[in-house]
């Protein structure tokens, strides 16, 4: 058990402990803190089922009906004191914020939850706060979308659901027929988070370099835990898929600018407590523009690889903020460390089919800079054509003191993919 200034008391409530959220119970356990689980809806989205472990929790509650969150708060008050409520993934954000308010523990204001979930509301709030924001429209019909795209007169246009994640449903459209098809594929359909899309958001397409900024906040003060250069690859008929994320060294002019803009966005969006995951562009002219911010940890990560590289991770810092607030507060205002170079390489497939043989398990671990391989499919499973985060074919973490080793190993992975040597389909 880790030592804290004052031993923590009470239970941690985790809402939707899927994806990276599945790592939270173990980390809370290092502090002797037990966890209970709240499921924000009766059904767990299919893409999240594999990571959820019921055995990690003392008790489990499921939100059912309009009064479900209030009812669960009443039940939780009957347990040991509740020390915190944390969203494990995107689906849990709004429920976690409501529960935190009802249980009188730190959390973001549930009255402004939509600013942190709805892509359109997010950018409108930035605009009102005087921050750079994308030109955009919320469209409830295909006709609305065609009218706005025609008036914009700039192609391509980005079409996305108003409240999903992982590039789900995102399309780059180069003409009116593509806009109509993309919006029609969104409206009224169920998204990867289990919700029904009630609106499509159209935004201008920005050229530039994408970055990721992860942070954890306490009382409106923010600690930037990692900044990554986020390289993407365009996919026909979709948008961009992850190529690789490169952990940047702190204390450069670029990372300081990214950190300042990100914290201004967090303030504008009301993220005062807990983790946040921000994606943004540096435009070709050097300006910064938010893509989106989520009030939760980054999904689909090997957080132990990040701990080795920086001393912390989004998971460990989220827990530390609640388990030892004084220790966490000492980090605010400091820069994160980068002990070694770290790349997160997303594997992809250009075709769909049943996996006959996965050679990743043999080839990727043999690379000199290999750190870990996660979420790679097994023989007999379906491999989808990669069009978003949910359809990737695995993630490899490469770590080394040598940038040259990382670059060589990254290029080798891409060569294997291009030659069809990693995934043998039936």
> 3-state DSSP: the chain helix, strand, coil percent, rounded to 5?
35, 25, 40
Domains of the chain (ranges, CATH numbers): 11-105 (3.40.50.20), 135-204 (3.30.1490.20), 208-425 (3.30.470.20)
For residue 131, the Cα-to-chain-centroid distance in whole angstroms is 22
Question: pLDDT tens across 53-78, in order?
Answer: 999 999 999 998 778 999 999 999 99
Q: What does each C-alpha distance from 235 to 208, 385, 387 come to in angstroms? A: 17, 10, 7
> Edge-to-edge strands of the sheet including 423-425?
382-383, 353-358, 423-425
Predicted local distance difference test score (pLDDT) of residue 67: 81
pLDDT category of residue 112 using cuts at 50, 70 and 90? very high
Asked whether the beta carbons of 224 and 156 are under 8 A apart, the reply is no
**Does 2 score more than 60 pLDDT?**
no
Nearest to 274 by CA among 227, 307, 311, 321: 321
**Tokens encoding 204:** 């201008």
Q: What is the mean pLDDT of the chain?
A: 93
pTM, entire model:
0.92
DSSP 164-216: --TTTT-EEESSHHHHHHHHHHHTT-B-TTS-B---EEEEE---EEEEEEEEE
Helix (H/G/I), strand (E/B), else coil: 218: strand
Average pLDDT over residues 405-415: 97
- Region 78-91 average pLDDT: 94
- Quote the radius of gyration of the chain (alpha carbons, Å): 21
pLDDT for 216 equals 98
* Residue 192 confidence (pLDDT): 75
Q: What is the pLDDT of residues 284-334, one digit of tens each?
A: 999 999 999 999 999 989 999 999 999 999 999 999 999 999 999 999 999
Whether residue 10 is predicted with pLDDT greater than 80 in this model: the reply is yes
pLDDT at position 166 is 64
Residue whose tokens read 């009301």: 270
On the question of pLDDT at 4 being above 70, the answer is no
Q: How far apart are CA 29 and CA 391, in angstroms?
A: 32
pLDDT attached to residue 6: 62
pLDDT tens digits, 115-128: 999 999 999 999 99
């Amino acid at each position: 058990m880790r030592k804290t200034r004052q031993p923590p008391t009470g239970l941690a409530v985790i809402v939707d402990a899927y994806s990276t959220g599945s790592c939270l119970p173990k980390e809370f356990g290092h502090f002797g803190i037990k966890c209970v689980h709240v499921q924000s809806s009766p059904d767990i989205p299919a893409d999240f089922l594999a990571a959820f472990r019921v055995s990690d929790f003392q008790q489990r509650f499921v939100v059912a009906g309009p009064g479900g969150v209030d009812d669960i708060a009443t039940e939780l008050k009957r347990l040991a004191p509740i020390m915190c409520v944390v969203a494990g993934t995107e689906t849990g954000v709004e429920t976690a914020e409501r529960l935190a308010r009802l249980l009188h523990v730190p959390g973001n204001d549930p009255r402004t939850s939509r600013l942190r979930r709805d892509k359109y509301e997010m950018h409108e709030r930035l605009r009102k706060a005087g921050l750079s924001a994308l030109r955009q429209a919320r469209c409830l019909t295909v006709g609305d979308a065609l009218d706005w795209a025609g008036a914009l007169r700039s192609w391509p246009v980005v079409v996305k659901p108003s409240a999903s994640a992982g590039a789900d449903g995102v399309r780059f459209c180069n003409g009116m027929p593509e806009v109509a098809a993309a919006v029609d594929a969104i409206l009224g359909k169920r998204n990867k988070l289990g919700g029904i899309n009630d609106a499509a958001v159209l935004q201008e397409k920005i050229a530039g370099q994408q970055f990721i900024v992860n942070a954890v906040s306490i009382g409106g003060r923010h600690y930037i835990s990692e900044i990554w250069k986020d390289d993407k690859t365009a996919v026909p008929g979709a948008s961009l898929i992850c190529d690789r994320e490169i952990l940047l060294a702190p204390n450069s002019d670029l990372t300081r600018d990214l950190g300042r803009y990100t914290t201004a966005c967090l303030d504008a969006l009301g993220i005062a407590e807990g983790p946040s995951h921000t994606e943004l562009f540096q435009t070709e002219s050097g300006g910064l523009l938010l893509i989106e911010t989520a009030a939760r940890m980054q999904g689909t990560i090997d957080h132990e690889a990040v701990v080795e590289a920086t001393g912390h991770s989004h998971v460990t810092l989220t827990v530390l903020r609640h388990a030892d607030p004084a220790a966490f507060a000492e980090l605010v205002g400091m820069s994160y460390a980068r002990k070694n170079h770290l790349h997160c390489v997303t594997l992809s497939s250009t075709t769909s089919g049943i996996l006959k043989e996965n050679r990743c398990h043999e080839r990727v671990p043999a690379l000199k800079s290999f750190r870990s391989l996660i979420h790679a499919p097994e023989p007999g499973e379906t491999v989808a054509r990669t069009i978003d985060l949910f359809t990737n074919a695995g993630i490899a973490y490469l770590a080394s003191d040598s940038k040259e080793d990382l670059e060589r190993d990254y290029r080798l992975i891409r060569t294997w993919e291009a030659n069809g040597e990693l995934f043998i389909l039936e």
